[in-house]
C-alpha cells in the first residue's frame, strides 16, 4: 500500500527535485499549528512511515488530535531515525542478537534476518575507571588497564560491528556517548533515501535525552526495546501529555547551567512529569546556549519526564556550524525547518503552541546550588549546604538522614597518608570529580572551572593529597580548549589531571580510595563525601565508602576539594589561608561571566571539533589492533566469564504458550519508595563476599580480576548473582542495609540470589513488593533480566519509572500497580503472605486483576500493560521472543 500522504511531498529545492520532504505545513489543518513542536516530530515520523504494516492513517489522525486525545491512553507507533548505545548496554544487546541468530536458525529461519535495520551507533565509554589519578600519565595508564580488563568484551563488540550491518562502533577513548552525539553524531535533519526529515533517536542510556537540547527528539529506552527498534519494530507508546516549561528572565552572574538544571529537577519532581514530555519555551530560552540546554535536557530522567525538548532555533543552527558540521548541509537543515514550520523563535509568543499544562521559572531566581546527599532532586542552596549536611547527620535514616548519634557529630579520625598526618571527620571530601557529559559538554562551566583553578593556584591554594581528584571530559574537544586557553596546567596543579574519556565516577567507576582513607572512614563510621559534576548520586553508586554524594557544577567541585569539607559556609568562611597568612574566600577567585565568555569566544572554535572528530573511529591504536572473528554466527567460549549465551530463548517454540495464573508466590523482597535500577542491578564494584564474587572465584579469578558488574553484563551467570546485590539495599524484611532477604520456608537470612535459588529449586514463583518510583535511574535492561532469571514473575508497586516498566514488559515480568489511594499499608500487606495473581483469559491494557492471599484476603491491582502491543509481547513471553518468532516465520 502506498503512502496516502504523497500529496504533501515536495522538493526542498527546485534545483534538486530528488531531495523531497513531507511539507506538514501544507496539511491545511489548523490543528498542526497548535501542536507542541515535540509532537510535530512524532507526526512527521508517522506520516513518513505510513503504510498498512507500520503506521496506519488513523495513527496520524490521533497525533493531529493530540489536544483532544492526550488524556485517553491512545496508543501510537513511533519509528525513530536512529539508535545509540553505550557499551554497558551495548554488550548485552549484541549478546542477545548473537543468541537470537542461534534461536532463529534452530527454528528453521534465516539467522541473518537478525540484523539492525535502523542505523545504530555504539560508543564505548563505560569501561574505563579512575585507577590512576594525580599524575601526568594517568590517562595512558587507565586506558591501558581498561584494555587489559576488557579485551574480550572489545573483541566481541568488534565482531558485532563486522557481523551486523548498520552498526558502527565508536572506540574507547573517544568520549561520552551523549556528548559525542551532541557534537558529532546528531544530524538535526536527516537526509536519507531522497527525503529530508527530522532527526530522532532512542538510546539504551537514560540520558539520551541530552540531545533534546539541540532540537533532536530523543529519549532512553530499555536495551530490550532498543533491540526491537534496531530490528525494525516501531516503539508503541501512549501519546504523551506535554508540559510547557516557560523560562523567563536572565540568570544571575554567578549562576551556572548546573544550578539551573538542579533547580528545574527539583521543581519538575514536585510538578510530576513521569511519562510526559516537557517542552521548553519562552524568552528565557533564548538566553541559554545549546550547551546550557543540553545540560537541562540531560537530567530529564532525574525529573522523571520522557523527553525534555528544546525546539530548533537560530542558536541551534549556529551550534551546528560552531561544532564543524558541513555549512551547506546546515543551510539545508534550516531551509527544511523553515518550510515545515519547525524553526522556533522563542521571543515570538505567537509561535507558542498548546500544552497540557504550563509551569514557569524566572531564571533570575536561580541561586548557586548542589543536590544531595542521596538523590538528584534534593537541591540545596550553596549558602545552606553546611547547615543542611549537619541536619542530615542526625536525621532519621533516609534520603536526607544518616542517623548519627549527636555525641558523634564532631568525631575526628587521624590517619597517615604518604608520610604526613591528616584528619577526617563527618563531611570530609574524599572524592572530587569533574565528570559526566551533563557538565563536561558545556564550555562555560569547564572554562569556569579552569579559570577558578588558575586563580586558586595564583593565590596559593591547594587540595589535600589524599582527596581523589579527577577530570574525565566527555570528548577530546574539551581537553583541546582547556589546553589552548592555558588553564589545563592549573587544573593539573590542583590534582585535576585528565584520567580518561568516559563516564567514570558518574557511573561508579571511581576506582579505589587510598587504603588509609578507607580505614579511617571505617574506623570512625564516618559520613565521607563525594562531590561530582554528574547527574546521579544514589546510595552506593559513586563509591562504597562515600555515604553522602553531592552533584555540583565543575567550579564548585574544585571549591569543595580545596575546602576539604562540605561543612563550610563559603560566604562566611575562607576556602583556605595562603602562605602569607591571608584568608582566601570563594568570591575572591570565582570568575565572572564576562571572563568566561571572552575565553570561550576565543578558544572554542569549529576547527577543534573537525580535528577531533575526523579521526574518531581510527585514532585508538589498541582498538585497531584487536583481532575479531568474522563468522556471522558467534562461537561461544564456554570458559569465558564475560560473554555467555543467555538462557532467555532456551526451549522457545513457534507456538505461543497461554499465560497462566501465578499461584502461591512468595515475596522475595519488600521495598519502600525510590528503589533505583542501581539497587536492582548495580554497575560498580563486585563485593568480595557476594554470590557473584564466589562464582568468579570458582572460575579461577582473583578479586583484582573481578572488574565491575557493568563490564560483565554479557554474562548472565554473573548478572543473575549481581541482581539486588547493592550494599545499600533496604529490604523491609531485614533490619539493616544489605543485599539479603529471608527465605520464608526455612526462616533463614540469605543473600538474595541464594534465597531465589532455593525458591526456584522448590518450584516456588516469586514477586517483589515496592513503593513509589520503582526502577528510577538508569535504563539498564539487567534490572529486568536479572529478576526474570531469579524467578520473579511480577512486581507490585505504587508507581514505576517509565523505562523500567517498559523493560519488565520486555522480559515478560508483569508490572502490577496498586489502585489509586491504595498501598501495602492500606491493604495490610506484610510481604510474608503468599500471593495468587489471577491472569484472565482475555486481557486488556491497564485492566484490573484479582490477587488472592493465603490469608483469605483478596484485592485488586492494575496490570500495567499499557498498550495492545505490550500485551502481544506478554503473550510471547517478552519482546525478544516475539521478534524471534516474527523473523523465523
DSSP 849-888: EEEEETTS-EEEEEE---SHHHHHHHHTTSHHHHHHHHHH
879 and 819 in a common domain: yes
- Strand residues in 325-477 grouped as ranges (E): 357-362, 369-371, 379-381, 412-417, 420-425, 429-434, 468-471
Say what the pLDDT of residue 2 is. 62
* Domain match, 245 and 226 both: no
Q: Are 839 and 660 in contact (CB under 8 A)?
A: yes
Of 742, 790, 798, 747, the residue nearest 765 (C-alpha): 790
> Could you tell me if 91 and 71 lie in one domain?
no
Q: Is there a contact between 404 and 393 (Cβ–Cβ < 8 Å)? A: yes
Whether 700 is covered by a domain: the verdict is: no
Residue 604 covered by a domain: yes
| Count of C-beta atoms within a 10 Å radius of residue 464 | 17
Contacts of 573 (CB under 8 A, 6+ apart): 585
Same domain for 850 and 778?
yes
Which of 120, 108, 141, 42 lies closest to 500 in space, CA to CA?
141
- Rounded-to-integer distance, Cα 528 and Cα 426, Å: 6
Collapsing DSSP states into helix, strand and coil, what is residue 304? Answer: coil
Q: Which domain holds residue 274?
A: 240-311+346-367
Pairing of strands 189-192, 420-425: unpaired
In tens, the pLDDT along 689-725 reads 999 999 999 999 999 899 889 889 999 999 999 999 9
Q: Which of 611, 640, 673 is the last residue of a domain?
A: 611
Domain end marker among 77, 106, 137: 77
Shared-domain flag, residues 232 and 246: no
Main-chain dihedrals φ then ψ at residue 223, nearest 5 degrees: -60, -35
3-state secondary structure of 760: helix
The CA distance from 468 to 429, in Å, is: 9
Rounded Cα distance, 852 and 795, in Å:
15
In a domain, 701, yes or no: no
User: Which residues lie closer than 8 Å to 526 by C-beta, 6 or more apart?
Assistant: 411, 413, 424, 425, 426, 428, 520
Give the strand order in the sheet containing 357-362: 307-309, 277-281, 242-248, 357-362
Whether 449 and 573 map to the same domain: the answer is yes
Total residues belonging to the chain: 889
**Beta-sheet strand order (sheet of 195-198):** 9-13, 16-22, 195-198, 189-192
**Which residues are bridge partners to 421 per DSSP?**
416
Which runs of consecutive H residues, i.e. helices, occur in 29-137?
Answer: 30-34, 37-48, 57-64, 66-69, 87-106
**Rounded distance between C-alpha atoms, residue 832 and residue 665, angstroms:** 10
The answer to whether position 639 is within a domain reads: no
The helix/strand count (H/E) of the chain reads as 33, 34
Beta carbons within 8 Å of 712's beta carbon, 6+ residues apart: 641, 642, 686, 692, 718, 719, 722
Q: Residue 505 domain-assigned?
A: yes
**What phi and psi, each to the nearest 5 degrees, are found at residue 127?**
-95, -25
Coil, helix or strand at residue 563: helix
d(CA 160, CA 93): 10
Determine, yes or no, domain membership for 330: no
Cα separation, 472 vs 554, whole angstroms: 11
Tell me: do 460 and 589 sit in the same domain: yes
Q: Are residues 466 and 401 in the same domain?
A: yes
Single out the residue in 238, 267, 295 at which a domain terminates.
238
Please tell me the distance from the alpha carbon of residue 10 to that of residue 89, in angstroms, as a whole number: 40
Cα(519)–Cα(130) distance, integer angstroms: 20
pLDDT of residue 28: 63
Question: Considering only CA atoms, which of 530, 527, 524 is closest in space to residue 543?
Answer: 530
Kindly state whether residue 452 falls inside one of the protein's structural domains. yes
CB 882 within 8 A of CB 817: no
Q: Residue 255 sits in a domain of what CATH number?
A: 3.40.1060.10
Phi, psi at residue 530, to the nearest 5°?
-110, 135
Contact (Cβ atoms closer than 8 angstroms) between residue 43 and residue 64:
yes
Dist. CA 160–CA 66, nearest whole Å:
40
Whether residues 62 and 142 fall in one domain: no
- Whether residue 395 is found in the same domain as residue 469: yes
Identify the CATH number of the domain in which residue 111 sits: 3.30.499.10
Same domain, 746 and 821: yes
In this structure, are residues 101 and 93 in contact, taking their beta carbons and an 8 Å threshold? no
Tell me the C-alpha distance between 826 and 705, whole Å.
48
What is the domain count for the chain?
Answer: 5
In DSSP terms, 243 is beta-bridged to 278, 357
Q: What is the pLDDT of residue 542?
A: 92
For position 132, what pLDDT does the model report? Answer: 97
Give mean pLDDT in consecutive 10-residue pieces for the chain, a chain of 889 residues.
66 74 74 92 86 68 88 87 93 94 92 92 94 96 94 94 93 94 96 90 94 97 89 88 97 92 94 95 96 95 94 97 94 92 95 97 96 93 97 94 95 96 98 91 95 97 97 95 97 97 90 96 97 89 94 97 98 91 95 92 92 90 91 94 94 89 98 93 89 97 90 95 94 94 97 98 98 86 95 97 90 97 97 97 95 97 93 93 88
Residue 191, in any domain of the structure: yes
849 and 823 together in one domain: yes
Amino acid at each position: 500500500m502506498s503512502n496516502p500522504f504523497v500529496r504533501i511531498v515536495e522538493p526542498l529545492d527546485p534545483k534538486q527535485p530528488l531531495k523531497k520532504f513531507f511539507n506538514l505545513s501544507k496539511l491545511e489543518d489548523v490543528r498542526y499549528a497548535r501542536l507542541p513542536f515535540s509532537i510535530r516530530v512524532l507526526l512527521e515520523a508517522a506520516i513518513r512511515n505510513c503504510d498498512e504494516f507500520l503506521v496506519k492513517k488513523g495513527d496520524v489522525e490521533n497525533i493531529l488530535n493530540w489536544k483532544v486525545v492526550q488524556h485517553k491512553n491512545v496508543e501510537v507507533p513511533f519509528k525513530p531515525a536512529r539508535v545509540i548505545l553505550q557499551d554497558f548496554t551495548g554488550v548485552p544487546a549484541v549478546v542477545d542478537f548473537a543468541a537470537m541468530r542461534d534461536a532463529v536458525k534452530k527454528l528453521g529461519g534465516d539467522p541473518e534476518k537478525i540484523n539492525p535495520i535502523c542505523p545504530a551507533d555504539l560508543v564505548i565509554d563505560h569501561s574505563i575507571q579512575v585507577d590512576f589519578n594525580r599524575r601526568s600519565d594517568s590517562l595512558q595508564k587507565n586506558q591501558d588497564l581498561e584494555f587489559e580488563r576488557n579485551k574480550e568484551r572489545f573483541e566481541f563488540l568488534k565482531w558485532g560491528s563486522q557481523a551486523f550491518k548498520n552498526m558502527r562502533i565508536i572506540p574507547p577513548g573517544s568520549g561520552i556517548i551523549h556528548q559525542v552525539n551532541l557534537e558529532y553524531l546528531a544530524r538535526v535533519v536527516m537526509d536519507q533515501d531522497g527525503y529530508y526529515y527530522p532527526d530522532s533517536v532512542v538510546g539504551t542510556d537514560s540520558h539520551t535525552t541530552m540531545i533534546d537540547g539541540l532540537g533532536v527528539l530523543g529519549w532512553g529506552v530499555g536495551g530490550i526495546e532498543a533491540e526491537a527498534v534496531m530490528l525494525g519494530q516501531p516503539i508503541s507508546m501512549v501519546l504523551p501529555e506535554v508540559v510547557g516549561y516557560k523560562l523567563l528572565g536572565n540568570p544571575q552572574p554567578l549562576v551556572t547551567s548546573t544550578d539551573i538544571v538542579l533547580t528545574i529537577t527539583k521543581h519538575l519532581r514536585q510538578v510530576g512529569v513521569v511519562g510526559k514530555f516537557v517542552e521548553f519555551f519562552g524568552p528565557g530560552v533564548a538566553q541559554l546556549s545549546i550547551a546550557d540546554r543540553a545540560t537541562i535536557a540531560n537530567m530529564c530522567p532525574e525529573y522523571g519526564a520522557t523527553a525534555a525538548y528544546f525546539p530548533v532555533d537560530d542558536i541551534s543552527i549556529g551550534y551546528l556550524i560552531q561544532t564543524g558540521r558541513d555549512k551547506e548541509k546546515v543551510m539545508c537543515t534550516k531551509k527544511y525547518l523553515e518550510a515545515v514550520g519547525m524553526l522556533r523563535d522563542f521571543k515570538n509568543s505567537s509561535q507558542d503552541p498548546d500544552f497540557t499544562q504550563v509551569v514557569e521559572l524566572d531564571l533570575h531566581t536561580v541561586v548557586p546550588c548542589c543536590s544531595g546527599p542521596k538523590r538528584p532532586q534534593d537541591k540545596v542552596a550553596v549558602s545552606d549546604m553546611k547547615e543542611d549536611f549537619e541536619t542530615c547527620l542526625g536525621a532519621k535514616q533516609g534520603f536526607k538522614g544518616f542517623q548519627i548519634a549527636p555525641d558523634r557529630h564532631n568525631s575526628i579520625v587521624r590517619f597517615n597518608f604518604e608520610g604526613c598526618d591528616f584528619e577526617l571527620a563527618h563531611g570530609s571530601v574524599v572524592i572530587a570529580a569533574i565528570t559526566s557529559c551533563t557538565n563536561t559538554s558545556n564550555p562555560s562551566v569547564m572554562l569556569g572551572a579552569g579559570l577558578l583553578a588558575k586563580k586558586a593556584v595564583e593565590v596559593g591554594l591547594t587540595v589535600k593529597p589524599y582527596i581523589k581528584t579527577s577530570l574525565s571530559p566527555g570528548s577530546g574537544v574539551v581537553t583541546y580548549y582547556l589546553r589552548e586557553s592555558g588553564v589545563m596546567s592549573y587544573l593539573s596543579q590542583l590534582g585535576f589531571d585528565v584520567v580518561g574519556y568516559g563516564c567514570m565516577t558518574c557511573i561508579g567507576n571511581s576506582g579505589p580510595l587510598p587504603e588509609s582513607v578507607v580505614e579511617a572512614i571505617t574506623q570512625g563510621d564516618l559520613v565521607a563525601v563525594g562531590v561530582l559534576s554528574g547527574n546521579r548520586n544514589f546510595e552506593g553508586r559513586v563509591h562504597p565508602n562515600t555515604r553522602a554524594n553531592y552533584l555540583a557544577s565543575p567550579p564548585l567541585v574544585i571549591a569543595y576539594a580545596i575546602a576539604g569539607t562540605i561543612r563550610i559556609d563559603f560566604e562566611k568562611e575562607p576556602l583556605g589561608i595562603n602562605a602569607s597568612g591571608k584568608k582566601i574566600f570563594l568570591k575572591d577567585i570565582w570568575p565572572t561571566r564576562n571572563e568566561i565568555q571572552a575565553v570561550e569566544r576565543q578558544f572554542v572554535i569549529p576547527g577543534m571539533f573537525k580535528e577531533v572528530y575526523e579521526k574518531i573511529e581510527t585514532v585508538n591504536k589498541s582498538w585497531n589492533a584487536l583481532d575479531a572473528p568474522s563468522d556471522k554466527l558467534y562461537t561461544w567460549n564456554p570458559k569465558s566469564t564475560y560473554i555467555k549465551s543467555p538462557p532467555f530463548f532456551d526451549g522457545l517454540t513457534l507456538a505461543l504458550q497461554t499465560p497462566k495464573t501465578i499461584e502461591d508466590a512468595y515475596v522475595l523482597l519488600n521495598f519502600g519508595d525510590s528503589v533505583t535500577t542501581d539497587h536492582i542491578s548495580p554497575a560498580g564494584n563486585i563485593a568480595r563476599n557476594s554470590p557473584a564474587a564466589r562464582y568468579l572465584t570458582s572460575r579461577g579469578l582473583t578479586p583484582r580480576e573481578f572488574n565491575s558488574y557493568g563490564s560483565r553484563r554479557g554474562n548472565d551467570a554473573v548478572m543473575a548473582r549481581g541482581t539486588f546485590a547493592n550494599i545499600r539495599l533496604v529490604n523491609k524484611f531485614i533490619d539493616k542495609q544489605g543485599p539479603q532477604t529471608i527465605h520464608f520456608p526455612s526462616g533463614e537470612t540469605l543473600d538474595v540470589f541464594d534465597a531465589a535459588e532455593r525458591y526456584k529449586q522448590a518450584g516456588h514463583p516469586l514477586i517483589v513488593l515496592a513503593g513509589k518510583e520503582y526502577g528510577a535511574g538508569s535504563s539498564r535492561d539487567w534490572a529486568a533480566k536479572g529478576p526474570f532469571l531469579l524467578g520473579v514473575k511480577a512486581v507490585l508497586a505504587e508507581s514505576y519509572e517509565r523505562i523500567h516498566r517498559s523493560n519488565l514488559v520486555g522480559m515478560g515480568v508483569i508490572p502490577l500497580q496498586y489502585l489509586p489511594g491504595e498501598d501495602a499499608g492500606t491493604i495490610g500487606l506484610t510481604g510474608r503472605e503468599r500471593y495468587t495473581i489471577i491472569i484472565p483469559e482475555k486481557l486488556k491494557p491497564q485492566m484490573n486483576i484479582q490477587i488472592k492471599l493465603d490469608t483469605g484476603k483478596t484485592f485488586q491491582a492494575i496490570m500495567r500493560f499499557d498498550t495492545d502491543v505490550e500485551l502481544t509481547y506478554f503473550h510471547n513471553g517478552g519482546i525478544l521472543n516475539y521478534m524471534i518468532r516474527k523473523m523465523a516465520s
